[in-house]
Structure 1
Amino acid sequence: MSRLTPSPVPSPDCSGAMEPAEGEEREQSIILISDDEAESSVGNSVLFVQPQEEPALGEVKAEVVDEESELMVTYCKEANVMPHARYDCSKHPFERTENDTCSPLGENAAICDQCYCYICDKLASECQQWTTPSLCHCNAHNKSRFWKEQRGFTLTGVLATFDLELSDIDADLRHGGSLLLNFMQELSVEYNKYLAGQRVFPPRHECVCSPRLPPGECSACRSRSVQVVYKYSEVFALVTRFLNQAEQESPKAAAVMLLGAAKEIAAHKDPSLSWHNVDHTASLKIAVPCLFRRITTQLQRMLVLCDFPKTLYEKFINFFHSICLPCHCFGFSNSLKVLSWNHGLLTTVLKGQNISGHRRQKGKKMFLWETLPVIEARVEKLVEKKNYREVIRYLRAVKCDNTKGLRDLQDKIPFFLCKIGNFPEAAQAQLVPVKSITCCSACRISPCQYKLYLKMFRTGSVPSGDDMLQPGPWVSTGPPLGDGGLTKHALRLIYSNTSLYRNPACWSSLIMAVGSSNTLNNSGELQPLTLNQPPMDFQQQVLAASQSLLEDLKANVNVSLPRALFSTELQQEACLILAVQALLQMLFCDLSSLTSFLEIPVAFGKNLWALRLLLDHLSYEENLLRGTVRLILNDLSREKAAILKLWEDVSPHYVGEFLWLFLTCRHKKMQSVGLFTLNIIAENRHMCPWAKHLCTFFHNSGLSHLSLGTAVHQEVSKFINIFEQP
């Protein structure tokens, strides 16, 4: 069937003939465009109908009928010549042969203004090989396999080695091919210099000829001792610069550049006889594997992260497998055997249908085994798409020869569980060893991570980003852990990690989390609570039960807190007392390992009854008391400005209660902390406009009840006099 391309249709007259509109000239030709160009045809896709003579005025225009195609032409219009290949030109005939390149055939060299070269894909008038002997692009046409291959090679250039079709090639691939071609030319020059080597002449050499000449003057002896040194360093530097450039390009261009570079350096030969004790960039046998490692690692990541079309994906892999690797690069033979995202085993793992990561196929056991760069790329891709459940399943099932690298990724599983709101399982996952790994992730948690995990467990919120250390807003993802669960898990974590156990910042994080609300304040931080002091008998009961509870928690036993104490209205107070008792045990055993202490008392906030409980128990042991006071005084001397800034942001009433707690302690060593703090405030009163309110607090707190003549009474009175002076 053919298509008719008419001009605007005029209205018919009464006789049924078609007449042009008034003032419109009658057109003189028609174009019939064939839809199904047969292979046996001469190749023209345009059928020309000769213009008809214009009928006499008043006569009805004769109809043109093509009986074979059952097409009737009632109106003709002269066509505009559009850009076309030379073999489709309507003005000049064209002769076809399979592969004649000697000289132009017939009138094939003749062109019109719109003729294009089939090979170069540009105007024939601009083709440099239009009539060049042995090339003769004027004879090219689309029915010849030879000319089709010539067109493909011309348009694809070096991309032809990748077995790419013209339909596969876009601007990115073409750009990558252009950069690769320039690199290959530069590399050829540098590689030839390497093969020529560097001739090294000895500075002086004893002459063994007759007659003997002075050392270094005999040319014969010098020529025999000349050494040729082959240094690959310049080639290595050139390839490295090219790889750096590739990493800045689009994925398709980068893949072409990396694969092309791999093929080029794989063909390099080492003419030197020895490569030991040589710099890694100077020796080819060391430098080339180093470059291959970088290339394959980047390609592995790209095959996972970049959504290459399936055909392009396969052609990239096939190209790499076609590279003839030298013996020093055999280890990279299977580097690009990367599972596609729709691989059966991988898919079942990601969907939760296979939690073990292995299956039997034809009687053999198959494992989900991937290299670390591939695993890192998959995790990155899944996290980017917020598929945290799939990340967790994948990391639990996948195997890798890089145990440490895989372990570091698996340590993120608790955070990913928090991202989906599963805080109980996240707490458990930190203490359960991953298969094939001897220790749990709790052993490797940093103090900063410990603080953030407690914040997540306390509030049920997580950082909005994909990195828990990244600053930003927090969002709620699920119900938080209860008071008992939070305290138990926090203590089990701190007992499982020596660096946490001996870090005062971790103990202050624990105390702050236990004494806080399960909601964040406006600044996104934990919101401290003021807990009422429980009755003394309740405190004693909790302290009595704490000894066995803490021993079980140290042994990582699944402990159940007594319901009579930890399931009442005072459960949060009971948890705070349990934390105080755990802190006391640590101080009795490992006080010497601490480098600071002041942040721990500050962490109690307004729960000063719990802080008094800690200080009273410290007073029973003289050595423990002395060591603690020494640490606090050192902290005060070192952090004067910080502590004054901290108290500026809180109420003077709290500062007064905090100082009064130390000043009224029954042991004089602990009283010295309060006295030293008063001196700091007095010496820096220009930074403490709130200090005058302390005087009122001291009067109201019972200054008159202090024993006269004691150091505390004298220093407090002196402090009041300083700030009450006009």
Structure 2
Amino acid sequence: MGPPEREEKEQSIILISDDESEGTLGNSVLVVDPLDKTTLEEEKAEEVVDEECELVVTFCKQAKVMPHARYDCTTHPFERRECDTCSPLGTNAEICNQCYCYICDKLASECQNWTTPSLCHCNAHNKSKFWKDQRDFALAGVLVIFNFELTDIDSELRRGGSLLIEFIQELSVEYNKYLLGERIPPTLHQCFCLPKLPPGECNICRSRNLEVVYKYSGVFALVSRFLNQAETERPKAAAVMFLGAAKEIALHKDPALSWQNLGHTDSLKIAVPCLLQRITTHLQRMLVLCDFPKSLYDKFVSFFQSISLPCHCFGFSNSLNVVPWDHGLLTTVLKGQNITGQRTQKGRKIFLWETLPVIEARVEKLEDNMNYKEVVRYLRAVKCNDTKGLRNLRDKIPFYLCKTGDFMDATHSLLFPTNSLACCTACRITPLQFEVYLKMFRTGSVPSGKSMLDPGPWIPAGSPLKDSILIKQALRLLYSNISLYRNPKCWSSLIMILGSSNFLERSGHLHPLSLKEPPLDFQKGVLAVSGGLLEDLKAKVNVSLPSSIFTPHLHHEACLILAVQAIHQMLFCDLPYLNSFLEIALAFGNNFWALRLLLEHLSYEEHVLQGTVNLILRDLDRQKATMLKLWQNLGPQYVGEFLCLFLTCRHKRMQSIGLFALNIITENLHVCPWAKHLCNFFHNAGLRHLPLGPAAHTEVSKFINIFEKL
């Protein structure tokens, strides 16, 4: 970087010459004595001929002397030698007002080492390797240890270097404190030597008690603070700081004569590997995520490999041997040309094997670029020592496939493991994830964010699954995960999504369907084949649902009936594990015929009926305020249908649910402005005149009488 232009106080004439003989200064300039202003004006049009140089001057004007290094000064001669630093040579110390120091890259008048013995910057010039190295170190500072070219060093790297220099100085002070150690004050304790002596009289125990303890915690805290700061800096500066810190702590030695296990921060041989683990993990991510120029990338890696690691840190030797993005095996995997992640080279099998931080960084970058197909190919092929961490990343493969619109492959990825040694992803999904997956399969839309649980908008991704495939795969998911199977939230999600259209708003809001009750013969036909189908699905047998029940006009209804039968089977076997049932009943929405079908099935098993009724009554009692708010939103038509469904059941236990709900409304009429409309619904339905039984008839009449008196 050259010195900036400065105002010229003296004027001279510098003529550029083609003559490269030794007589010309700097091999490039010829100086003509300056003319005074009067002479210039008088001889303005006259020609000046220099016969020696065969140069014709037709016009002259006063020239500015540009900023220049001292060895190029036209005013004062310069004497060159390779590395003389003792004292100024010849007139090298003399300067004009535009002379710059070659080492400091600032005005010579401002250089503090211009004539300093053993430094003598006035003798520096660009023909000497010694002085060039001095200049590089002065300009690059501590960055010179990274072997950067001066053209590589920008403001970002300079900041990292300046912060590293400050850290090294502070670290030196703290490390010296560590080397001094702490002497434990003598205490009287029991002697365990043979023969035993009274406390304080055993020389062996006394010598042990006077042992010096070396605690590394102060150094550990300082390095940790520096690494915290590095994580907030820009990538190049952070890389310099991490690498510099690694080099410094790798030089630290434990002066203790014997092993002192004082804790993970106090013991050097525990603390240093801990710090190096943090440093290498962050650097691995940076090498993957940051678009460093190749020359810079290689120098970072080479610098780390040049660090002489102590024996307790040998495990980090190859930590930065990260496969670059343009590596042949990695490229073929990402493009789908290699699905196994292995190839044979010179008779040896080579695997795509990476550490978990590297894998996480690659997935993060591919996600940011929305390269979801490449993420899937990579995760299926890559191998890692951290099998649990890799499994957690692979659990997102079904979501990535949904993002590409391949919902069928997504269901297979949920249900079938990546390899024979792992269990399927379905074993680990949560009830909320189950609901989101069903919503994606039903609508063909996906969340726009990187996570399936992001609250952002939903966008179309592909064609939704057919209803026959959706219900089959949804039940397989429930049968594959016992925690989902026994969770009422999952069953309510299944019922709710089966009873909704495949249109989804950007907000992720589904549109419920109000399906007409299908013919009784159709219902019986679906129920007749559902038992065997469900058993086959539980046994993981590959079944296809008969086309006779999934007709083009009644496929929604067939799915609901099949789900009703699945819920009935679940209640028969796993009712004691349920903690709620009301949300399952509410999930049917306006499809009360399907809910009635479920309740009729329950009446055939007394213990199932009794347990289900108890669950619903408990839910109503605990969630009175919630139910009142929900009924306010749904309106009197829905509430009337819901109450009539239970009040008209032939089984007295089921009627108790309707009576309990009616009492909740009666006790809270002040927050139920729609109650009068509910009374009208009862009138129109002729509920008072139906044979409901004494208790139900009395409560219904009492409710209607309240509004007749108004």
Output the TM-score relative to the length of structure 2.
0.93
Residues 552, 56 of structure 1: alpha-carbon distance in 2 compared, 3 angstrom cutoff: closer
Residues 79, 531 of structure 1: alpha-carbon distance in 2 compared, 3 angstrom cutoff: same
Match of 1:89 among 73, 87, 106: 73
Residues 466, 40 of structure 1: alpha-carbon distance in 2 compared, 3 angstrom cutoff: farther
- Name the SS for the 1:112 alignment partner: coil
Task: Provide the residue aligned with 2:612 in structure 1.
Answer: 628
- Name the SS for the 2:552 alignment partner: coil
Distance of 1:520 and 1:461 partners within structure 2: 7
- Name the SS for the 1:564 alignment partner: coil
Task: Provide the residue aligned with 2:301 in structure 1.
Answer: 317
Specify the code of the residue in structure 2 equivalent to 1:61: E
**1:456, distance to aligned residue in structure 2 (A):** 0.6
Distance of 2:408 and 2:399 partners within structure 1: 12
Match of 1:706 among 690, 693, 698: 690
Match of 2:143 among 131, 153, 159: 159
Match of 2:405 among 414, 418, 421: 421
Residues 443, 41 of structure 1: alpha-carbon distance in 2 compared, 3 angstrom cutoff: farther
Task: Provide the residue aligned with 2:4 in structure 1.
Answer: none
Q: How does 1:317-396 map to 2 (within 5 A)?
A: 317-396=301-380
Q: How does 1:162-177 map to 2 (within 5 A)?
A: 162-177=146-161
Equivalent residue pairs, number: 693
- Name the SS for the 1:365 alignment partner: strand
Distance of 2:580 and 2:456 partners within structure 1: 29
Match of 1:545 among 529, 536, 558: 529
Residues 423, 545 of structure 1: alpha-carbon distance in 2 compared, 3 angstrom cutoff: same
Greater displacement, 452-461 / 676-685:
676-685
CA contact (8 A) 1:662 1:673 kept: yes
Task: Provide the residue aligned with 2:6 in structure 1.
Answer: none
Matched, 1:490 2:483: no
Task: Provide the residue aligned with 1:61 in structure 2.
Answer: 46
Greater displacement, 399-408 / 87-96:
87-96
**1:243, distance to aligned residue in structure 2 (A):** 0.9
Q: How does 1:495-510 map to 2 (within 5 A)?
A: 495-510=479-494
Task: Provide the residue aligned with 1:48 in structure 2.
Answer: 31
Greater displacement, 150-159 / 294-303:
150-159
Task: Provide the residue aligned with 1:11 in structure 2.
Answer: none
Task: Provide the residue aligned with 2:418 in structure 1.
Answer: 434
CA contact (8 A) 2:688 2:700 kept: no
**1:504, distance to aligned residue in structure 2 (A):** 0.3
- Name the SS for the 1:566 alignment partner: coil
Matched, 1:101 2:89: no
Q: How does 1:271-670 map to 2 (within 5 A)?
A: 271-275=255-259, 277-435=261-419, 437-521=421-505, 523-670=507-654
**1:169, distance to aligned residue in structure 2 (A):** 1.0
Distance of 1:149 and 1:339 partners within structure 2: 34
CA contact (8 A) 1:30 1:51 kept: no
Residues 271, 490 of structure 1: alpha-carbon distance in 2 compared, 3 angstrom cutoff: same
Greater displacement, 589-598 / 173-182:
173-182
**1:176, distance to aligned residue in structure 2 (A):** 1.0
CA contact (8 A) 2:458 2:506 kept: no
**1:49, distance to aligned residue in structure 2 (A):** 3.9
Residues 238, 531 of structure 1: alpha-carbon distance in 2 compared, 3 angstrom cutoff: same
Q: Specify every segment of 5 or more residues in structure 1 that has no aligned partner in the other structure, as ranges.
A: 1-26, 208-213
Deviation per CA, 1:166-205, whole angstroms, max 9, x where unpaired? 1111111111111111111111111111111111122337
Distance of 1:200 and 1:276 partners within structure 2: 13
Distance of 1:181 and 1:471 partners within structure 2: 45
Distance of 1:356 and 1:708 partners within structure 2: 68
Distance of 1:685 and 1:429 partners within structure 2: 52
The Cα RMSD (Å) is: 2.6
Deviation per CA, 1:551-581, whole angstroms, max 9, x where unpaired? 1211222221111111331011101111111
- Name the SS for the 1:519 alignment partner: strand
**1:374, distance to aligned residue in structure 2 (A):** 0.1
Distance of 1:280 and 1:38 partners within structure 2: 70
Residues 126, 548 of structure 1: alpha-carbon distance in 2 compared, 3 angstrom cutoff: same
Distance of 2:526 and 2:682 partners within structure 1: 33
Q: What is the percent sequence identity of the aligned residues? A: 70
Matched, 1:194 2:178: yes
CA contact (8 A) 1:681 1:688 kept: yes
Task: Provide the residue aligned with 2:702 in structure 1.
Answer: 718
Q: Specify every segment of 5 or more residues in structure 2 that has no aligned partner in the other structure, as ranges.
A: 1-10, 192-197
**1:653, distance to aligned residue in structure 2 (A):** 0.4
Task: Provide the residue aligned with 1:110 in structure 2.
Answer: 94
Task: Provide the residue aligned with 1:20 in structure 2.
Answer: none
**1:60, distance to aligned residue in structure 2 (A):** 4.8
Residues 33, 446 of structure 1: alpha-carbon distance in 2 compared, 3 angstrom cutoff: farther
Match of 2:168 among 166, 176, 184: 184
Output the TM-score relative to the length of structure 1.
0.91
Greater displacement, 325-334 / 552-561:
552-561
- Name the SS for the 1:595 alignment partner: coil
Residues 73, 349 of structure 1: alpha-carbon distance in 2 compared, 3 angstrom cutoff: farther
CA contact (8 A) 1:31 1:79 kept: no
Residues 37, 644 of structure 1: alpha-carbon distance in 2 compared, 3 angstrom cutoff: farther
CA contact (8 A) 2:21 2:27 kept: no
Distance of 1:38 and 1:715 partners within structure 2: 121
CA contact (8 A) 2:40 2:60 kept: no
CA contact (8 A) 2:45 2:59 kept: no
**1:361, distance to aligned residue in structure 2 (A):** 1.2
Greater displacement, 488-497 / 221-230:
221-230
Q: How does 1:135-154 map to 2 (within 5 A)?
A: 135-154=119-138
**1:45, distance to aligned residue in structure 2 (A):** 4.9
**1:85, distance to aligned residue in structure 2 (A):** 1.6
Distance of 2:162 and 2:552 partners within structure 1: 75
- Name the SS for the 1:292 alignment partner: helix
Task: Provide the residue aligned with 1:683 in structure 2.
Answer: 667
**1:458, distance to aligned residue in structure 2 (A):** 0.7
- Name the SS for the 1:430 alignment partner: helix
Distance of 1:90 and 1:492 partners within structure 2: 90
Q: How does 1:118-267 map to 2 (within 5 A)?
A: 118-204=102-188, 225-267=209-251
Task: Provide the residue aligned with 2:655 in structure 1.
Answer: 671
Residues 491, 31 of structure 1: alpha-carbon distance in 2 compared, 3 angstrom cutoff: farther
Task: Provide the residue aligned with 1:17 in structure 2.
Answer: none
Residues 479, 66 of structure 1: alpha-carbon distance in 2 compared, 3 angstrom cutoff: farther
**1:135, distance to aligned residue in structure 2 (A):** 0.3
Specify the code of the residue in structure 2 equivalent to 1:697: F
